[in-house]
């Protein structure tokens, strides 16, 4: 259903090869259905269970699974493969979010926690986690943020203490955790010892006694089903501590950082998809804008094209093993801002009462505000950009590159 969009390839896509373009087209064709489901999710995010069999819901998750856990024969293998790179995820996520970002967020599947498992888990842990995900629709969560500690994630206070008789006890509260209260499985970051290297990541089955979760009422992006989670003396077995065989500097916190860098361009892609969708919606509903208004819209479209191009570039670099932390944060922050600006402009130019008469616009206007918060606020990314600026301008040197495995690379 392509009637939602302009016919030409969106500006800023020049970095895509033929296969990525094919992937983009495949996902773009899903937009109409995703938009209809997204509207339902805004009323009741739990209705996602009615749509789990639909290809539009199932396809986007496939590329996030390791090859041996993907559905065989259901989707063109080359497209699933194409969607498994960071650039592929970005391309697919942008198009899917053009339809609606809530569906992807509300869907069962690996979420960020799957990335943590891929990065940290031993073979047994991987088998248990992904085996469970493929045996039945399983929602997962990635629990880092706490009521008292958001941006200052390294200061988290949820504790992991030795249990009398072996194993561990988990105690604490997590907040704003996507799908937390609806999930069957998740990864929880917790403190075993003081300092950044004292943070562990543990795999948690939510049926464990002492676990409880409640949904939080969010303004928008309700498909994310952000939740508050409580852990009261939850027993954690030794085999549920992710990557226990690794050195402390290579597990818990390291895992979180590594994954957030890889997933962050995906949040930018969601924002870009929504921003473009809002602008196209305006053009569809007000095809002839006065010149000054057209100029304002074009200015937003310029910014969307620029941030799309930069997002694809950082994603491509990550795939090549180069993680430009400031660059990744910058595209996420700028994409979030342009999405907010785009929806505000559209609400203004569509005219009086459009936030009542165009429910999709009102929903998108609420949804996009989440992107500024997800995976780090703009202030934090701005500071990282500033550090980079200082380094580059004060003593120009090649962009510091880090191999994806975290080791510095110059």
Ligand X SMILES: Cc1cc2nc3c(=O)[nH]c(=O)nc-3n(C[C@H](O)[C@H](O)[C@H](O)COP(=O)(O)OP(=O)(O)OC[C@H]3O[C@@H](n4cnc5c(N)ncnc54)[C@H](O)[C@@H]3O)c2cc1C
Residues near another protein (CB under 8 A)? 42-43, 145, 147-152, 155, 175-176, 216-220, 226, 290-293, 340, 344, 347-349, 351-356, 359, 362-363, 366, 369-370, 372-373, 377-379, 382-383
Q: For ligand X, give the closer residue by CB, 138 or 377.
A: 377
Q: State the virtual CA torsion across 74, 76, 80, 82 in degrees, nearest 10.
A: 180
Position of minimal CB gap to ligand X: 150
- Please report whether residue 178 would count as binding ligand X according to CB under 6 A: yes
- Torsion over CA: 49, 112, 119, 154 (sign): negative
In the numeric block, which tokens belong to residue 355?
Answer: 């936030």
359 binds, among another protein, ligand X, none (CB under 5 to 8 A by kind): another protein
Residue 240 binds which one of another protein, ligand X, none, with CB within 5 to 8 A depending on kind?
Answer: none
Number of residues that bind ligand X (CB under 6 A): 19
Name 241's Cβ contacts closer than 8 Å, sequence gap at least 6.
160, 168, 200, 201, 202
Sort strands 227-236 and 168-177 into parallel, antiparallel or unpaired. Answer: antiparallel
Is 49 a residue that touches ligand X (CB under 6 A)?
no
Nearer to another protein, 178 or 252 (CB): 178
Indicate which single residue of 138, 161, 171, 377 sits in contact with ligand X (rule: CB under 6 A). Answer: 377
Output the smallest distance, CB 321 to ligand X, in A. Answer: 26
Q: How far apart are CA 265 and CA 279, in angstroms?
A: 21
Task: Give the CA distances from residue 212 to residues 106, 174, 310, 401, in Å, rounded to whole numbers and listed in that order.
Answer: 19, 11, 40, 41
Q: Which H or E element spans position 188?
A: strand 185-191
Least Cα distance to 243 among 258, 232, 254, 228 occurs for 254
Tell me which residue of 252, 156, 154 sits closest to 201, measured CA to CA: 252
CB of 297 to ligand X, least distance (A): 27
Say what angle helices 18-28 and 55-62 make with each other, to 10 degrees. 150
196 binds ligand X (CB under 6 A): no
Say whether residue 329 binds ligand X (CB under 6 A): no
Residue 352 C-beta: closest distance to another protein, Å: 4
User: Of 23-31, 312-320, 353-361, 366-374, which segment contacts ligand X by CB under 6 A?
Assistant: 366-374
Please report how close the Cβ of residue 176 comes to ligand X at its closest, in angstroms: 4
Residues that bind ligand X (CB under 6 A): 142-145, 150-151, 176-178, 221, 224, 226, 370, 373-374, 376-377, 379-380
């Amino acid at each position: 259903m392509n009637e939602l969009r302009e016919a030409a390839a969106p500006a800023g896509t020049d970095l895509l090869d033929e296969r990525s373009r094919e992937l983009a087209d495949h996902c773009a064709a899903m937009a109409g259905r995703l938009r209809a489901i997204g509207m339902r999710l805004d009323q009741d995010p739990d209705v996602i269970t009615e749509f789990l069999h639909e290809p539009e819901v199932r396809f986007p998750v496939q590329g996030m699974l390791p090859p041996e856990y993907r559905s065989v024969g259901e989707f063109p293998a080359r497209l699933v493969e194409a969607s498994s790179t960071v650039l592929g995820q970005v391309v697919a996520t942008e198009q899917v979010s053009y339809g609606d970002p809530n569906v992807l967020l509300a869907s069962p599947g690996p979420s960020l926690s799957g990335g943590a498992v891929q990065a940290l888990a031993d073979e047994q842990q991987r088998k248990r986690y992904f085996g469970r995900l493929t045996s039945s629709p399983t929602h997962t969560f990635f629990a880092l943020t706490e009521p008292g500690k958001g941006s200052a994630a390294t200061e988290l206070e949820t504790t992991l203490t030795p249990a009398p008789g072996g194993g561990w006890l988990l105690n604490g509260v997590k907040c704003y955790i996507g799908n937390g209260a609806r999930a069957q499985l998740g990864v929880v970051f917790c403190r075993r010892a003081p300092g950044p290297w004292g943070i562990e990541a543990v795999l948690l089955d939510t049926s464990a006694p002492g676990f409880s979760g409640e949904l939080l009422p969010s303004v928008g992006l309700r498909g994310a089903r952000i939740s508050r989670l409580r852990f009261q003396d939850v027993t954690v077995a030794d085999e549920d501590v992710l990557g226990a065989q690794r050195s402390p500097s290579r597990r818990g916190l390291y895992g979180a950082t590594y994954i957030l860098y890889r997933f962050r361009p995906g949040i930018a892609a969601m924002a870009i998809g929504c921003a473009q969708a809002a602008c196209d919606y305006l053009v569809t509903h007000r095809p002839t804008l006065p010149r000054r208004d057209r100029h304002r819209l074009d200015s937003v479209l310029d910014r969307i094209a620029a941030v799309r191009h930069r997002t694809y570039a950082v994603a491509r670099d990550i795939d090549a093993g180069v993680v430009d932390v400031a660059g990744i944060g910058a595209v996420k922050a700028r994409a979030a801002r342009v999405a907010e600006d785009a929806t505000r402009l559209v609400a203004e130019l569509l005219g009086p009462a459009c936030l009542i008469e165009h429910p999709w616009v009102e929903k998108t206007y609420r949804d996009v505000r989440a992107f500024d918060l997800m995976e780090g606020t703009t202030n934090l990314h701005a500071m990282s950009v500033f550090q980079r600026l200082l380094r580059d301008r004060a003593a120009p040197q090649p962009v510091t590159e880090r191999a994806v495995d975290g080791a510095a690379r110059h």
